[in-house]
Amino acid sequence: MLRLHFTFEDLCKVTLNDAPPPLSEAVLALQTLTRTDQQLRFGPWRDGLRGRIPAAVRPLRDLVPARGWIPDFLTPVLRGTPGDAAAVEAVRATPARQIRADLTRLGTTTRLPGWVRRLADGDIDTMTAVTDALSTWNRIAVTPHEPRIQAALDADVAHKTTLLTHHGVDALLRQVHPAVSWQPPVLTVPSPIDTDIDLAGRGLRLAPMLFCGALPRLRLGDDTGSTAVLAYPLPFDPDTAHPLTGTRPERETRSAAALRRLLGGTRATLLQTIAAAPGLTTSDLARRTDVALATASEHATVLREAGLITSRRDGSRVRHYATTVAAALLRSR
C-alpha cells in the first residue's frame, strides 16, 4: 500500500482534473488492449481495433508493459490545457537523463528490444519513431471517442465537485474510489509497493481516466515540487451512455433529439456541455464541441441572453455556468 501523508497545505491544494491529460489516455489504453479483464467495458473497443493497428505503433508497444509502471516521459505533465500536439513536443523534448532513468527502471521488469539503446543515447530518428507511434495510436484508439470520454469525465467531476462544495475535502477524499481509504491525515492507495509518502505541501490532483485500469495510479511530482497526481478509473454504468461505443437507452436518445430541435444542434450541445462542466471558458467550449472560437462565443451570447447561462470574468477569461432555468429545461426533456 501507498500511504500519502497530508499536511494542512496539502489539503488546501487538493484539486480535480476536468480534462484527460494529453496522451495519457492513449498510453494507458495500450495496456488495456493487452489485457482481457473488464470485458463489458472494453470488449467492444478491443474488438473494433482488431486488425487495424499499423506496424508504426510497434515502438510504443515495446515501451508500454502489459501491466504496471509506464515510463513517465511518455505521459508528460503540462500546465494549463495543452493539446496533443504540445504533449508530443514535450515528449520529444524530454531530457536525455530522464529517458535513460525511465528506461533503466523499465528494464528491471521488462525485456527491452535492442533499438531502445538508441533512444537512451538520444538518437533523434528513434525518438521521432516513438512520437509518431504515440500520435498514430492516439488517433486510432482514443480520438474517435474523445467527446464521450469527456462527457463521462464531466459527470464524475460534477459529482465530486458537489461533494467538495457541500461536505468539504474530507468527503471528497473518502469517495475518490472504493479501493482508496482516507483516515486523516493519511490517504491509502493500493499498490504492490508498501511505503509512506509525505506530500510535503505539493498537494494532490485527482484525475479521473477511462483507461486507468481497475485500480488507481499515483504519479508523484518532479523535483521542482509539482503536484502529485492520483489517476483513478471512471465509474462504469452499462445502463448509461457508453463512453466508447456511444450506445445508450432509447429514451435518452429521443430527449436529446428534442433538445436539438428546440435550440439547434450546436447550441444544444454547448448548453449540455456547460451544464455538465460548470466554469468552462469560451476556449474550452470551442475545443470540447469542435467549433470555432467565434462560433462558441456567439452561441454563448445567445444562451446568456435567453437566460440559460451566466458568464463571469476570471482574469482575462470568461467562465460560463448553466442557470436554474437551463437545469429545469434539461431535467424536463
Residues 289-300 pLDDT 10s: 888 999 999 999
E strands, 117-244, are 181-183, 186-189, 195-198, 204-209, 217-219, 228-233
Average pLDDT, rounded, for the chain: 86
**Does the structure show a pLDDT above 80 at 320?**
yes
Residue-level pLDDT at 247? 57
Tell me whether the omega of the peptide bond preceding residue 184 falls within 30 degrees of 0, making it cis: no
Q: Over the stretch 86-137, which tens digit does the pLDDT of each residue have?
A: 888 889 989 999 999 999 999 998 889 999 999 999 899 999 999 999 999 9
Question: Phi, psi at residue 181, to the nearest 5°?
Answer: -120, 145
CATH code, 250-331 = 1.10.10.10
Q: Is residue 197 pLDDT above 60, yes or no?
A: yes
Interatomic CA distance for residues 320 and 279, integer angstroms: 5
Eight-state DSSP code of residue 99: H
User: Inter-axis angle of helices 265-276 and 282-289, to 10 degrees?
Assistant: 120
- What does the alpha-carbon distance between residue 262 and residue 259 come to, in Å, rounded to a whole number? 5
Looking at the DSSP assignment, which residues form a beta bridge with residue 244?
none
CA distance 81 to 213: 23
The CA-atom distances, in angstroms, between 268 and each of 17, 18, 249, 326 are: 24, 21, 19, 11
Query: What's the grid cell of residue 82?
Result: 495543452
**pLDDT > 50? residue 59:** yes
Q: Where are the domains of the chain?
A: 2-16+147-233, 24-144, 250-331
E strands of the chain, at which residues?
2-5, 14-16, 181-183, 186-189, 195-198, 204-209, 217-219, 228-233, 280-281, 309-314, 317-322
pTM for the model: 0.73
Residue with cell 476570471: 314
Classify 103 as helix, strand or coil: helix
Phi, psi (degrees; rounded to nearest 5) at 183: -125, 95
Q: Which residue has the cell 502529485?
A: 228
